[in-house]
Structure 1
Amino acid sequence: MGFNEFKELWTALNAWKQNFITIDQDRSGTIEHHELNQAIVAMGFRLSPQTLTAIVKRYSKNGRIFFDDYVACCVKLRALTDFFRRRDHLQQGVANFVYDDFLQGTMTI
C-alpha cells in the first residue's frame, strides 16, 4: 500500500468512525439495525430493506454491530460498489458482466 492509498484509507476510517459515533446515540459502542440504516444513508447509499437485513445478518452479533464489524461492512460495501460502478457505464444502476468477471471481482473483495 502506497502513501496515497494509506491516506485515502485513513480518511475513510476517520469518516466511518465519526459516522459510527454520531449514530451510536446511546453510547453503547454498538449500533442496531435502524442505526445501521441511518449510517448507510449518511454515507450516501440507498439500500432496500431486504439488503439491509442481509447486511445486519452478516455483520451483527445478537442484533448489535460492533465498530470493527461496522468497518468491515463499510469496506465491503465500498469495494462492491466500486466494482459495480466500474461496470455501470451509463451510471443508471445497471451493469452487465459475465459470471467469471463477477466471481473474480467479488472473490478479491
Structure 2
Amino acid sequence: MAAQPASREFLWGIFQKVDTDRSQKISANELGQALKNGSFTPFNPETIRLMIGMFDRDGDGTINFDEFGSLWNYVSQWQTTFRQYDRDGSGSIDKQELTTALTSFGYRLSPNFYDVLIRKFDRTGRGSITFDDFIQCCVVIQTLTGNFQRFDTNRNGWIQITYEQFLTLVFSLRK
C-alpha cells in the first residue's frame, strides 16, 4: 500500500519547522536535525547527503519547498516499504529481511553478498540496518545497477571496462 501524498499546508508547516534559519531552504544540517529513525537516532549524514543530491533540482546544495515535498513523499514511500519488510517489527532490517526485500525488487544476489551489504550498511554493529541505512543501501544498489547496465550492452550480466570507467561508475554515486 503506497503512502498518500501529504497536503501542501501540512508540508509547509513541517518545512517551516525544519528551516530553522528561515532561509526558505533546508540545508543538509537542518534536514539531519529533523529526520530521525524509528529509534529516534539521527539519520546517517551520508543518507542525508544522498537524498539532498537526489532532490536538489537547482543544484544549490539545499532543498526548497517544492523539492522538500518530493523528498517528503519519497521518504514516506520508503517508510512504507521498510515496514513491509521489517517482519519482526524490530525497527531494523536483518539479513533475511534484506534478502526478501531486494529479491522482491528483482535483484538476484548471493547469500555472501548480503553479508557484505549488512557489514557495509550496519552502523550499529547489531547485524541489521536501520531505516535510513536501508534507504541508502537500496539507492546505492539501484544507482550502481543503472550504471552497470549502461555498460552491459549484451544484457548478460558481464561488462568489460577500463579502470577509469570503473572509477567513474563508482564515483558517480557522489553528487
TM class by shorter chain equals 0.7 to 0.9
Deviation string, structure 1 residues 14-56 (Cα, Å, up to 9, x no partner)? 5533321111122221111111101111111110112111001
Give the TM-score of the pair, scaled to structure 1: 0.84
RMSD across aligned positions (CA): 2.2
Measure, in 2, the Cα distance between the counterparts of 1:86 and 1:10.
29
* Aligned residue type for 2:81: N
Aligned residues: percent identity? 32
SS at 1:44 equivalent: coil
State how many pairs are aligned: 107
Structure 2 gaps, min length 5: 1-55, 59-66
Matches within 5 A, 1:17-56: 17-56=79-118
After TM superposition, the runs of 4+ consecutive aligned structure 1 residues lying more than 3 A away are: 6-16
Measure, in 2, the Cα distance between the counterparts of 1:25 and 1:92.
33
Do the aligned partners of 2:148 and 2:169 also contact (CA within 8 Å) in 1? Answer: no
Structure 1 gaps, min length 5: none
Matches within 5 A, 1:84-103: 84-103=148-167
Where is the helix percentage greater, Structure 1 or Structure 2? 1
Task: Note closer, same or farther for the CA distance 1:12–1:48 as it changes in structure 2 (3 Å cut).
Answer: farther
Which protein shows a greater Rg?
Answer: 2
Matches within 5 A, 1:3-82: 13-60=75-122, 61=124, 62-82=126-146
